Amino acid sequence: MNRKTIKELKEIVGAGHLVTAREDLMCYSYDGTGMEYMPSAVVFPGSASEVCRIMEIAGRERFPVIPRGAGTGMTGGALAVEGGLVMAMSRLDRILEIDAENQVAVVEPGVITGRFQETVRRQGLFYPPDPASQAFCTMGGNVAECSGGPSAVKYGVTRDYVLGLEVVLPSGKLIRTGVRTAKGVVGYDLTRLFIGSEGTLGIVTKIIVRLLALPTSTRTYLVLTDSLRQATELVAEILKSGILPKTLEYMDQTALQVVNEHLPLSLPENTRALLLVEVDGDRGSTEEQGSRLLALLADRKTYPGILATRQAAGESEAAELWKARRSISPATFRLRPHKISEDVVVPKTAIPTLVAFTEKLARELDLVILTFGHAGDGNIHVNIMADRGDAAEWQRAGKAKKLLFEQVIALSGTLSGEHGIGITKAPYLSLEIEEESLELMRKIKRVFDPDNILNPGKIFTTAQEKP
């Protein structure tokens, strides 16, 4: 990007909305992975038509454009791995419409997910996708990664709520996909092709989502066990009993330790795992589900590992428990300065096997590995802690990651439930996806982006992690 191009871009967005100073670029050089790649410039478009004009210039000059939400991604999707122009969507942050009668909303990509949820909640409406980073992450980033969170076990992920999109193609042309109605099957499903494409096919400039009525009742339950196996085995049992919890999360002992100060309860000394079960719906339903859950858990003969079971004492305790749950990921850095964080998914019945495997890996490779996450849908967060400065340890961590992925595939699982591939998983993509499918995907990429200017180096390449 030469000086003339920078000038041209500034003319589009206004001089104040493009930065090139090193200290400014720094802020947009990293993401949730902790890796860093410096872009040449960062632009802050103020409208879809500005995005179109920027893409026209990028196409002419052939520089990479990397769309960026809040940079909370866990696989490097927002990193400028080949340099170029980071396009920060933070100015496109308007909630354009909340149509309460039809339970539909239209937002710009820079809207913070948590803010959107709070806004619709005040109108008695509910937008379920709830990534742990919801206080910071954006709706556009959620679409790019098809984000999910604890409530996915009952409510699904971003894909299940997006009805339609407005997207600027790499060519600079703007299209609208999908519908704003509950159903729609007209033409190929471009909407869901964009969702989870990690910003490689187009830049989302508008998102139409469906909303639900806000459930009127929620109950949160805590289960402590003296073994991780007991906790993970309970997951399938709870779901089999006909309860469909809003969330069914677990934390292993190490996860509990790192968030100990946030926990609103003191744990018995032999606690090895905690299950967090939330049921929601109308009052009749949460009452029935709650009783059914307590009845199941009362059977200590079948489940001898249960140490304690109780309902959270009111909303405030439930809120504290959730705060603790969401703080695990950042809090892990107390253990080791870096980590490899994976969000693998296995069938629910395979969770105990997977978790036992990670414990074995930790022992055999002399690593700290903690697991926690969305047990209800088999989406387990495996955090392999290590110090990048310690070459031997970092190498063992990399080995653990590869062995983990192989085990996940052997268990009929998938490498990513919500974080995507980005660059950190790209070298492992072929473990899961056969060459013929990859070739189709690469051809689809070329249909949308023949010159490979949009977020190049993601998903399909084997860009190495920097040490």
Per CB under 8 A, contacts with a copy of itself among 433-452 are 433-434, 436-438, 440-441, 443-445, 447-448
End-to-end CA gap in the chain = 27
User: Side-chain half-sphere of 364: how many Cα atoms within 13 Å?
Assistant: 10
Answer for the pair 137, 69: CB distance below 8 angstroms, yes or no: yes
Of 31-39, 142-150, 258-266, 392-400: span binding a copy of itself (CB under 8 A)? 142-150
Nearer to a copy of itself, 123 or 260 (CB): 123
Name the strand (E) or helix (H) holding 290.
Answer: helix 283-297
Tell me what percent of the chain is helix, strand and coil, each rounded to the nearest 5. 40, 25, 40
Which residues on adjacent β-strands are paired with residue 209?
A: 105, 162
Q: How far apart (Å, rounded) are the C-alpha atoms in residues 432 and 437? A: 10
Q: Least distance from C-beta 130 to a copy of itself, angstroms?
A: 14
- Does 99 interact with a copy of itself (rule: CB under 8 A)? yes
**What is the DSSP pairing of strand 65-68 with strand 85-88?**
parallel
Sign of CA dihedral 333, 338, 342, 348: negative
Q: Is 261 exposed, middle or buried (0-12, 13-18, 19+ CB in 10 A)?
A: exposed
Q: Which stretch binds a copy of itself (CB under 8 A): 46-54, 81-89, 394-402, 427-435?
A: 427-435
- Chain positions 304 to 363 lying near a copy of itself, rule: CB under 8 A, are 345-349
Whole-number Å distance between alpha carbons of 373 and 48: 36
Residues 206-225 touching a copy of itself, rule: CB under 8 A, are 212-213, 216
Minimum CB distance to a copy of itself, residue 207 (Å)? 16
Task: Give the total residue count for the chain.
Answer: 467
| 113 counts as binding a copy of itself under rule CB under 8 A | no
* Residue 390 near residue 425, CB atoms below 8 Å: no
Which residue's CB is nearer to a copy of itself, number 130 or number 393?
Answer: 130
The binding track of 274-303 with respect to a copy of itself, each residue x by CB under 8 A or -, is: -------xxxxx-xxx--------------
Taking CB under 8 A as the criterion, which residues in 24-43 touch a copy of itself? Answer: none
Residue of 51, 98, 104, 258 that binds a copy of itself (CB under 8 A) = 104
Q: Is 11 in the site for a copy of itself (CB under 8 A)?
A: no
Q: How far is the CB of 424 from a copy of itself (least distance, A)?
A: 13
Q: Which of 112, 224, 429, 454 binds a copy of itself (CB under 8 A)?
A: 429
**Number of H helices and number of E strands within the chain?**
16, 18
Task: Give yes or no for residue 129 binding a copy of itself (CB under 8 A).
Answer: no
398 contacts a copy of itself (rule: CB under 8 A): no
Instruction: Give φ, ψ of 159 to 5 degrees.
Output: -50, -35
The least distance separating a copy of itself from the CB of residue 110, rounded to whole angstroms, comes to 21
By beta-carbon proximity to a copy of itself, the closer residue of 80 and 421 is 421
Interface with a copy of itself (CB under 8 A), residue from 31, 50, 145, 252:
145
Q: Is residue 369 at the binding interface for a copy of itself, with CB under 8 A as the rule?
A: no
Q: Which of residues 163-182 bind a copy of itself (CB under 8 A)?
A: 169, 173-177, 179-182
**List 40, 49, 414, 452, residue binding a copy of itself (CB under 8 A):** 414
Asked if residue 21 binds a copy of itself (CB under 8 A), the reply is no
Question: Closer to a copy of itself at the Cβ: 175 or 392?
Answer: 175
The reply to whether 409 sits near a copy of itself by the rule CB under 8 A is no
Q: How far is residue 183's CA from residue 178's CA, in Å, rounded to a whole number?
A: 9
Q: Minimum Å distance from CB 295 to a copy of itself? A: 13
Neighbours of 244 (CB within 10 A): 17
Q: Of 416, 424, 453, 458, which lies in the binding site for a copy of itself, with binding defined by CB under 8 A?
A: 416
Restricting to residues 225-244, name those near a copy of itself by CB under 8 A. Answer: 236, 239-240, 242, 244
CA dist 400 to 317, 340, 360, 405, Å? Answer: 36, 9, 10, 9
How far, CA to CA in Å, does 176 sit from each of 191, 219, 344, 445? Answer: 9, 40, 32, 18
